Amino acid sequence: MDAARWSGVYTALVTPLTDGGERIDKARLIEQIEFQAHPPDGPGVTGVVAVGTTGESPTLTESEHTRVVEVAVEHGRRLGLTVIAGTGSNNTRRACAMQRFAAEVGADATLSVTPYYNKPNQAGMESHFRAVADAADVPVILYNIPGRSGAGLTAETILRLAEHPNIVAVKEASGSVAIADAVLTERPGFCVLSGDDPLTLPMMALGASGVVSVVSNLAPGRVRRMVDAALRGEMAAARDEHRRLIALARALLTLEPNPVGVKAAMRLLGRDTGAVRAPLAPASASSVSALARLVEGARSPQPTGA
The sign of the CA dihedral 155, 6, 70, 299 is positive
Choose the catalytic residue: 10, 26, 117, 143: 143
Q: What are phi and psi of 272, to 5 degrees?
A: -165, 155
Residue of 10, 117, 119, 171 with catalytic role: 171
Given a contact cutoff of 8 angstroms between Cβ atoms, the answer to whether 51 and 8 are in contact is no
Q: Is there a catalytic annotation at residue 143?
A: yes
10 catalytic? Reply is: no
Q: CA-CA distance, 142 to 63, in Å (whole number)?
A: 24
Give the residue numbers marked as catalytic: 143, 171
